[in-house]
Chain A
Amino acid sequence: MIILRYVKLPSENFEEFFNSLKRWGTVYAPVKQGNIYAFKRVDTLGEVSLNYTRTMLPPKKFFVRPKDTLLKLKNGRWEEIREVKKIVLFGVHSCDIHGLQILDKVYLNDPVDPYYKARRENTIIIGISCMPDEYCFCKSLGTHFAMHGFDLFLHELPDGWLVRVGSVKGHEIAWVNESLFEDVTEEDLKHFKEFEEKRSASFKKHLNKEGLADMLDLAFDSPVWKRYERICLGCGNCNMVCPTCRCYEVCDYWINAYEAVRVRRYDSCFMETHGLVAGGHNFRPTRLDRFRHRYYCKSYFDPSAGFNCVGCGRCDEFCPAKIEHVKVLDEVREALK
């Protein structure tokens, strides 16, 4: 059989296909943990939550780690620490695939971050279709469908999966498993279309992007920011869980009397130190400055990287103050009139 851009994986072959993935690396997939989901190492298909909503930490944790040792000091010189493992990320949603592409624009741009690059190159991404919940607004941002950035993408069908092949590597994976796949039929296409239509109609949250960049810029002094300054706790959860937030701090510490390491770890623009420089000057001294900064950063349309928010809904779901991203932007727009 010639593997084309689209093939079908019947339900009865799904498990075998899943098991075959191990040969390409350690498999990580969404797993339910209490009332949240997380990408975890899995051995069997049974552990995977196929219809998860969103993981708390997005897949960025595999590439830009919460805590990451970059260099190790030996005899006064830095040695590069770089152990790369081959991994397979199974069950990534389209918004998160878009999120990774935004990170790519930052970390793979000149000068290339070698740590990020090595991890990206050693990771296979297998996407999976999803149904939106009350937090999702990816459709408004066009990130509800991934055209690139995956190796294989599985779309749910009543009797299996319609598989899109997105890369040479994906093609190889399908090829090795040739016997598990079938040709896509007219019937499958009909089901695929029905699924997409149903999904499209299920979005409850929409972001009005029309002229948003200018409206927000004009609303720099909006009273809405002031109101939210009092609601927001400044905890920085929204940064930690966001697939496109990537600010990091660097610190050196000594692991024993002779060896030190240089480590980077996630930072958040909600922290007072984020804009603080020596001499005590702070470029974003108030919580209002910091709250607004995050919205501006997320709502910037970078001509080369696109919009900085992919509408995954994490910042809403994990905000202890129940602040809703879209609502804030709508209110800022509303207050301008």
Chain B
Amino acid sequence: MNPFQTYDARILEVKELTPREKLFTLRFVDPEINKEFTYKPGQFVIVDIRGFGEFPISLCSSPTRTGYFQLCVRRVGRMTKYMHTLKEGDIIGIRGPYGNGFPMEEMEGSNLLLVAGGLGMAPLRSVLWYALDSGKYEQIYLFYGTKSYEDILFRDEIIHLLKHGEAMNCRVKLAYEVESPSCIYLEKGFAPKVCKGVVTDLFRGEEFDVENTYALICGPPVMYKFVIKELLDRKLSPGRIYMTLERRMRCGIGKCGHCIVGTSTSIKYICKDGPVFTYWEALSTRGLI
């Protein structure tokens, strides 16, 4: 079997989440592959626009919902721009899933604190759905930092959880940076769960049972340091802080060398040793964050 071969997947639906991000719902054309395709929250696939190139995208749906999978793609450059022109019924190539994913089993019975910044919401949505569907976790927190109201990914779902989350042991909090009538409306309706500020502001007034909580972080590179500081201040162990990281990736399977990080004492491949790492691993591998 050639690991570079990609498999036909049909686009079932395209939904515009924001002016920059689209949600693609896909299914493999071959029913056999469809059946075999299982994944863990935090894993990613390589999307192949045959004849143009490949790029890695996190799975943002949950394996608890079978028969399809979803990718949330931000339009940033050449290939993602092309992807955004695709329509329902179009076929693209997919290989994967790759990476380690979050240790969902190990975390069963604990509280999950999901901290998302911007596009980091995509892989964490997979965790969120998984946790809600499986019901195997205590309290679920989602702290989500977004630029503006228009940038909120999966807005319907987020607002639904702001309204009804507590009944499902899920507490959602939202921080926005750019003020707008819609944000003020949200803030009025859901204060103090919605506020102006950055994601770390959402920690104010929150206490966690650190012995029984895992934090899962995904966001832009600058976000990690600040969020981790909040968590360490509350004495959450570096082994209970999980982060999913991004690098330039060409192969996704440990061959092309682009995602190599570290020094003489520890080298990691983000694609195959990650993309999920604990903060402890970041402490022992320089350059990880």
Whether, in the assembled complex, A335 has its beta carbon less than 8 Å from a beta carbon of chain B, the answer is no
Complex formed: what's the CA distance from A76 to B49 in Å? Answer: 10
Stretch with Cβ within 8 A of A (4 or more), from B134-142, B184-192, B262-270? B262-270
B246 at the interface (CB under 8 A from A): yes
Q: How large is the interface on A (under 10, 10 to 19, 20 to 34, 35 or more residues)?
A: 35 or more
With the chains together, A183 CA to B261 CA distance in Å?
51
Instruction: From known contacts A251-B53, A278-B77, infer whether A246 and B257 are also in contact, taking CB-CB under 8 Å.
Output: yes
Give Cα A73 to B251, complex, Å: 18
Instruction: Assess whether B250 is in contact with A250, with CB atoms less than 8 Å apart.
Output: yes
The verdict on A254 contacting B257 (CB below 8 Å), with A112-B3, A249-B250, A278-B80 known, is no
Q: Given the known A-B contacts A296-B267, A297-B267, are A277 and B247 also in contact in the complex, defined by CB atoms under 8 Å?
A: yes
Check if A106 is an interface residue, CB within 8 A of chain B.
yes
User: Interface readout for A256-278 with B: 1 if CB under 8 Å, 0 if not?
Assistant: 00001010100101000111111
Inter-subunit contact B257/A300 (CB<8 Å): no
- A107–B251 Cα distance when bound, in Å, is 12
B85 within 8 Å of A (CB atoms): no
Contact A248 B257 (CB under 8 A): yes
Find out whether the CB atom of A76 lies under 8 angstroms from the CB atom of B286: no
Could you tell me the distance between the alpha carbons of A301 and B247 in the complex, rounded to whole angstroms?
A: 23
**Per-residue A-contact encoding for B118-146, CB less than 8 Å = 1, 0 else:** 00000000000000000000000000000
Give Cα A58 to B267, complex, Å. Answer: 24
Q: Which residue of A lies closest to B265 (CB)?
A: A217
* Contact status B54-A217, CB under 8 Å: no
Beta-carbon contact of A78 and B5 below 8 Å: yes
Q: Beyond A214-B265, A217-B286, A250-B250, is A269–B51 a contact (Cβ under 8 Å)?
A: no
Near A by CB (< 8 A), chain B positions 136-158 give none
Q: How far is the CB of A252 from chain B (nearest CB, A)?
A: 5
Specify which chain A residues have a CB less than 8 angstroms from the CB of B257 in the assembled complex: 245-248, 267, 269
Contact at B51–A275, with CB atoms within 8 Å? Answer: no
Seen from chain B, the residues whose Cβ lies within 8 Å of a Cβ on chain A are 1-6, 8, 50-54, 76-77, 80, 91, 93, 220-221, 246-248, 250-251, 253-258, 260-267, 286-287
